[in-house]
Chains A and B, each alone.
Chain A
Amino acid sequence: MTRPAPAPAARPRPSRPGTGGARATPNLLVDPTRANVIEVVTPEGVPLPFVVASIGDRATAVFLDLLVILGVFLAVLILAGLATGDGFGSSFIGAFALLAAFLFRTFYFTWGEARRASTPGKRKVGLRVMDARGGPLTVEAVIVRNLLRELELFLPILLVLVPDHLVPGRSGLLRAFSAFWLLGIALVPFVNRRRQRIGDLLAGTIVVVRPKAALLADLGRSPAPTSAAAPAATHAFTDAQLDVYGIYELQVLEEVLRRARGPAADRNAVKAVTDRIAAKIRWVGARKSLDEEAFLRDFYAALRGRLERRMLLGHRKADKHAK
């Protein structure tokens, strides 16, 4: 049912006519030919793009989780210490506290991922664990990827903090060698495309981003007036003028328009794009008195209408170079 995305990043955009399945569709925000996207075909036959989490995000998540573990560790031990006083080392409470702290540290990740496919740290950052081939995430896979964490995370931490505990004896060479070895293990996620650490490789899992895209207003339909003074102007374009551009340009225009409002508004881009389009389509109207944003919105609506209608008839014009 599933297949990983193909490796080549510089695959040319297919511009053959017709829709021909979603893989031939350049109409994806996340392009499945990009290296960090895993494509999974659902049982319904729809390919879905899963974006592999970046190493920075994952490091942040682990850091947050370690903070939680450390906090609980300290809280449990301090409480138990207060409850037992000097007799900590010879009491049931002390034994229980140590056991609880140990179990918490060992199974914190496993428990969270087995139940909800993510730990609190991962949820905060917006990540989740999934089966690398899109199947259900099994408890076994979660157990394996987190047992290996012992080797990849806790052992190096220990090596840095208390090297004598790990490599007893005097041999500096042996110590350097084991440090080198552990460093090699830590580098594994950097050298594979899907950012899998050894635990992931062994369990067949990947960590993906939980998508956050929100549904925004349709630009093509309700062109809001840019200012109270200027009523929604209607600019008319001929088919010849619209045929100058293709889908790629349309979607760039969409980005420009969506960024034209809001706190990070970029008015210069609107002006530059308007100049460019007006020149390119040989716009005959008055350039000086033109309401730039309204003009772009009208052009966007007209262009999208033209391209979508042509698409329904089997002509997918990928960009301005396509026929």
Chain B
Amino acid sequence: MISLKDIKKSYVLPKVTVEVLKGIDLEVAEKELVAIMGPSGSGKSTLLHIIGCLDRPTSGTYILHDLDVSLKTDNELAEIRNREIGFVFQSFNLLPRFPAWKNIELPLLYSGVLAKERKQRAMEMLRKVGLSHRAEHYPNELSGGEQQRAAIARALINEPAIILADEPTGNLDSRSGREIIDIFRGLNKEGVTIVLVTHEKEIAEQAARIITIRDGVCQDGCY
């Protein structure tokens, strides 16, 4: 369902042009759980952003659900992010001025769901990640693990086929980290495709496949 061919990404800086991805070929099948590993600065996040339609590659083709993403307009990409993909960040990226349930309903706001249903579904998602009792809490009143679970609930609320997680356990203690990974595994069993960036070996080993990126090229696991 995800198919990258010769994906390159470079950033043009005032003095130099930095080539971050130097031609990545990658296939991820439906319902797969894939881990991406690699040293810091090797281009993992950049790759995940491209898969998540948050960024466009400089060259190469990206086919998502048999459709060429490079042909899509910005608005169409926004729609794909909204409906097809759930993104989980290392730093949670919750809006500090909103309580947990308001954060979680955000994607529904952009798919035109009415207020009543939004709240109802947000509450459902909170239950699913075990945060029902924290619905009215603001992000700064939640522990790191709780914040990340809220962020996962937000990623899940539009029932996307793909979850992309960029070092989701990077800011968490090992116990909370394990809880998060358990949630991902549960989701994967339900049939959600998951791409997980991590540099913790034991977490990566939970995945069916480990992809290793080094210096912007795929070293292992890319087929």
Task: Determine if chain A interacts with chain B.
Answer: no
